[in-house]
C-alpha cells in the first residue's frame, strides 16, 4: 500500500514461489522470493553521469522484461570462497612444481586448476579449487534463475573462473559483474555469498559457508 496516495502498489508480475535449494555442501537453504526488502548497495561508488544513469535504467528495464517473460529471478553468485577457493601463494606453486607428477594427479583429483590470467604480465599462477558438487548445483539452479558472476577481482579473473565453472557458456554467458550494482530492480535479485558484510547484511542474501581447500595441501 502506498501510504502517500492511498493506492495499492502492485508487485511486479514475477514468479512467486518458496523453494528449498540444495546448497553446495548438501544442506538445505530456504529461498523466499516474495516481499524481499530492497538491497542496500555499496555507498562508496563514484556518482554516475546522466548518460550512464539513463543507460543503466534502460538495461534494467530490458533485463526485468526478459526475466518476467522467462519466469525467472536474477541470482548474483560470488566467486571467491563461495564457488571457488583461489590462491596465488608462492608456497603452493613451489609445492606443485617440486612434486610433479604427483601434484598434478592430486590437483586433478581435488579439482584444482593452475591458471595464468591472460592480462597478467607478472605470470603468477592462480590455483583455483572448485567447490564440491558445484557443477550439479549450477545445473539445478540455472533452471530457476538467470545467473550472474560477481567478483572483487579483475574481469580476466572472473572470465578464467567462469571458463572452469561453465566451459560451454551455458550458465553465465558473459554476465560477469565487478560492482555491486545489480542488473535489474532489487525485488528481482537474490545473492549467493559467503560474506554478509559485503552486502550490508541484505535480506536478499543467501549466506553460505566459505569454500576452503587449497590450504590443506
111 is catalytic: no
The radius of gyration of the chain's CA atoms, rounded to the nearest angstrom, is 19
Of 78, 111, 166, 194, which one is the catalytic site residue?
78
Task: Provide the strand spans (E) within 104-154.
Answer: 112-115, 126-130, 145-150
Question: Residue 6 — left, alpha, or beta (φ > 0 → left; ψ -120 to 50 → alpha)?
Answer: left
Contact 180, 198 (CB under 8 A): yes
What's the CA gap between 210 and 180, in Å, rounded? 19
Which one is catalytic: 27, 80, 119, 197? 80
- The residues annotated as belonging to the active site are 78, 80
Amino acid at each position: 500500500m502506498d501510504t502517500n496516495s492511498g493506492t495499492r502498489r502492485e508487485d511486479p508480475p514475477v514468479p512467486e514461489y518458496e523453494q528449498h535449494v540444495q546448497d553446495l555442501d548438501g544442506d538445505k537453504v530456504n529461498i523466499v522470493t516474495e516481499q524481499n526488502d530492497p538491497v542496500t548497495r555499496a555507498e562508496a561508488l563514484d556518482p554516475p553521469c546522466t548518460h550512464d544513469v539513463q543507460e543503466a535504467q534502460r538495461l534494467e528495464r530490458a533485463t526485468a522484461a526478459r526475466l518476467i517473460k522467462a519466469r525467472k529471478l536474477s541470482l548474483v553468485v560470488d566467486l571467491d570462497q563461495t564457488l571457488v577457493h583461489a590462491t596465488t601463494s608462492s608456497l603452493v606453486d613451489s609445492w606443485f612444481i617440486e612434486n610433479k607428477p604427483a601434484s598434478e594427479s592430486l590437483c586433478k583429483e581435488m579439482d584444482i586448476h593452475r591458471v595464468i590470467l591472460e592480462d597478467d604480465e607478472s605470470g603468477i599462477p592462480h590455483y583455483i579449487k572448485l567447490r564440491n558438487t558445484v557443477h550439479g548445483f549450477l545445473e539445478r539452479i540455472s533452471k530457476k534463475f538467470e545467473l550472474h558472476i560477481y567478483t572483487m577481482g579483475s574481469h580476466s579473473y572472473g572470465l578464467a573462473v567462469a571458463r572452469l565453472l561453465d566451459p560451454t557458456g551455458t550458465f553465465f554467458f558473459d554476465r560477469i559483474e565487478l560492482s555491486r550494482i545489480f542488473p535489474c530492480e532489487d525485488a528481482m535479485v537474490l545473492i549467493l555469498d559467503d560474506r554478509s558484510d559485503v552486502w550490508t547484511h541484505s535480506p536478499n542474501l543467501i549466506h553460505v559457508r566459505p569454500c576452503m581447500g587449497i590450504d590443506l595441501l
